[in-house]
Structure 1
Amino acid sequence: MQATALTQILLPLALALIMFGMGLSLHRRDFSRLFKLPQSVAAGLLGQVIGLPLLALLVIVVFNLSTPLAIGLMLVAVCPGGTTSNLLCHLARANLALSVSLTALSNLICVVTAPLLVGLSLQWFATGAAVEFSLVNTALGLFAISLLPVGVGMVVRHYYSDWAERTEPVFRGFSIAVLILLIVAITVQEWHLLTTMLEQLLLACLTFNLLGLAIGYGLSKLFSLDNNDTTTVAIEVGVQNTTLSMLIAITFLGHPDYAITAGVYGLVMYLGAAVTIGLRRYQRNQVVDNKSSQQL
């Protein structure tokens, strides 16, 4: 894809607005809270920063994904969670405070880890392909379109909390709209590649999602977390910021074909999340029923 105003200006601006909206939902206490939940934070970060890239590599090998799909899956794996994971944790009645805190911290870490892992992925999978990639430019770009807008949003939240609370849902809706538009645009542009690899890609994305959730659950049990934190960590590990993945593919790398995997995963990840939410609500109902039985 040639560099255009859409890929170089409008798309990064849209993501910056989304990240600004995330900042509106954050407070300084979200970061201070991290020190009070060291085991939960450790489980979440291990799953996101280490578990997901290793899992993506395993899925790529097992499903023998082509270069564009393989790099696309790695882009999904190296990106942090977004506001979607916070919303899903709210629906699951899990630990929303932990979810917001993990999202904030993972976005901070992503500025360093994502460029490094993207560079390694290109060296490993895209040998011989013409891909322009700059570690420094990518890190600076991620800072400009993610951390900086989040920081500005937090400042606005601090001084204008009432306005921030009213406006944040608007940005959340905007983020969903941008994701849908990106998925449609990538589908149209890369229709041939998508149709030839759809079945394989769907299975790979579904496997990656379900095993990602399983990693979140496994690490939570390893760290002896309660059910609330376990559900939260599972969702944070299994739900990624696919909009950011697509932006890296289209704007930073100039390869919209690398964004196909993120587009498909952006839809598939809701299936695993729905199962997680269902299990969590079933657990809560069981606890309520047991308490009622004991009282009788």
Structure 2
Amino acid sequence: MGIVVGVVLPLGLAFIMFSLGLGLTVSDFVRIVKQPFAFVVGAVNQVLLLPVVTFALVLAFGLGPELAIGFMILAFCPGGVTSNILSRLARGDVALSVSLTAVISLLSMITVPPLLALAMGFFSGGTAEPVSISGIAVQLFLLTTVPILLGLALRHFAPATTNRISPVIAHLANGLFVFIVGLALVANWSVFVENFPILAPSIISLLILLLGTGFAVARLSGLPVSQIKTISIETGVQNSTLGIAVAAMLSGQEAGFSIYALPAAVYGILMYVVAAPVIAWFRGLEATIKDKV
């Protein structure tokens, strides 16, 4: 298991982030400067409101320290390729979704480590292991920022090659996601079974709260329907693979898949269950809300 956590997990995450980079163009970043308001609303939701809502839910459900930290790790993670796919299925603003996912993922090496240290200190108190902010930042840079930039560079300088390999890369990335989530569950199976009665309702509640919060904030901000849907999805759908990887960084590869990874692993499955009816509703939303674009 040490080899899986120490080698397969980081390489798998890097590959998934590389697949995200392949879907990016320079125009995705230029668009933020030209149309900043929707991006700012989505970024504030992800970086600030998402952890606050998660923190309140963790306290409301009275989760133990390890599971609580696992939830907060998930809350600190950006969206992933899945959020882009769901935005497309929901007929949302896919360009905004890609921009949010890309920028928040690139910034994760700065935002995640200090927030993680705060969560560890709050929930574990005097028993908390010291968190190496710089060490985790370096690992996140190597596993998220570098692969994304490599994918972006390949797309920019070799678009024809990128178009040929992108479908294969996407399928492999999806397979790695399923593999990593499955391993994290199997490694903590007894803990998963023991805590499922509280894990399932807490994660489902979190998903509903986050999707609802994203929707409400975006609508109150006066954004068009397509962007409301995208911001809702970007707020509610997180990169669970990154959450599992951060949990491994926190516990060390010798510990295997720790309990910290359990919320992200369960979330990686339940998010589809909760998101499916929401996406179905979103697809017909223009009929009930007048788009202001």
Q: TM-score, normalised by structure 2?
A: 0.92
Task: Report the counterpart of residue 225 of structure 1 in structure 2.
Answer: 223
SS state at 2:284 partner: helix
Task: Report the counterpart of residue 270 of structure 2 in structure 1.
Answer: 268
Q: Is the 8 A contact 1:22 1:168 kept in 2?
A: no
Deviation at 1:286, TM superposition (A): 6.2
The code of the aligned residue for 1:91 comes to L
Instruction: Say which of 55, 62, 81 aligns to 1:64.
Output: 62
Deviations 1:37-80 (A, max 9, x none): 22211111111000111111111111001112111100110000
- How does 1:34-183 map onto structure 2 within 5 Å? 34-129=32-127, 131=129, 133-183=131-181
CA distance in 2, matches of 1:70, 1:87: 28
Deviation at 1:130, TM superposition (A): 5.9
SS state at 1:109 partner: helix
Task: Report the counterpart of residue 251 of structure 2 in structure 1.
Answer: 253
Unaligned runs of 5+ in 2: none
Task: Report the counterpart of residue 30 of structure 2 in structure 1.
Answer: 32
SS state at 1:93 partner: coil
Deviations 1:246-272 (A, max 9, x none): 011124433611000001111111233
Number of residue pairs aligned between Structure 1 and Structure 2: 286
CA distance in 2, matches of 1:275, 1:234: 14
Q: TM-score, normalised by structure 1?
A: 0.91
CA RMSD of aligned residues (A): 1.8
Q: Is the 8 A contact 1:25 1:165 kept in 2?
A: no
Q: Is the 8 A contact 2:16 2:173 kept in 1?
A: yes
The code of the aligned residue for 1:80 comes to P
Deviation at 1:128, TM superposition (A): 4.4
Task: Report the counterpart of residue 294 of structure 1 in structure 2.
Answer: none
Deviations 1:98-117 (A, max 9, x none): 11011111112211111111
Task: Report the counterpart of residue 208 of structure 1 in structure 2.
Answer: 206
Q: Is the 8 A contact 2:218 2:231 kept in 1?
A: yes
Q: Is the 8 A contact 1:43 1:220 kept in 2?
A: yes
Identity %: 35
Distance change (3 Å), C-alpha of 1:239 and 1:137: same
Q: Is the 8 A contact 1:133 1:252 kept in 2?
A: yes
Unaligned runs of 5+ in 1: 289-296
Task: Report the counterpart of residue 291 of structure 1 in structure 2.
Answer: none
Deviations 1:222-251 (A, max 9, x none): 210011000000001110000000011124
Deviation at 1:205, TM superposition (A): 0.5
Structure 1 window deviating more from structure 2 (38-47 vs 239-248): it is: 38-47
Q: Which has the larger radius of gyration?
A: 1
Structure 1 window deviating more from structure 2 (123-132 vs 145-154): it is: 123-132
Structure 1 window deviating more from structure 2 (125-134 vs 112-121): it is: 125-134
SS state at 1:196 partner: helix
The code of the aligned residue for 2:273 comes to L
SS state at 1:127 partner: helix
Q: Is the 8 A contact 1:43 1:216 kept in 2?
A: no
Structure 1 window deviating more from structure 2 (263-272 vs 67-76): it is: 263-272
Structure 1 window deviating more from structure 2 (94-103 vs 36-45): it is: 36-45
Deviation at 1:165, TM superposition (A): 2.1
The code of the aligned residue for 2:270 comes to V
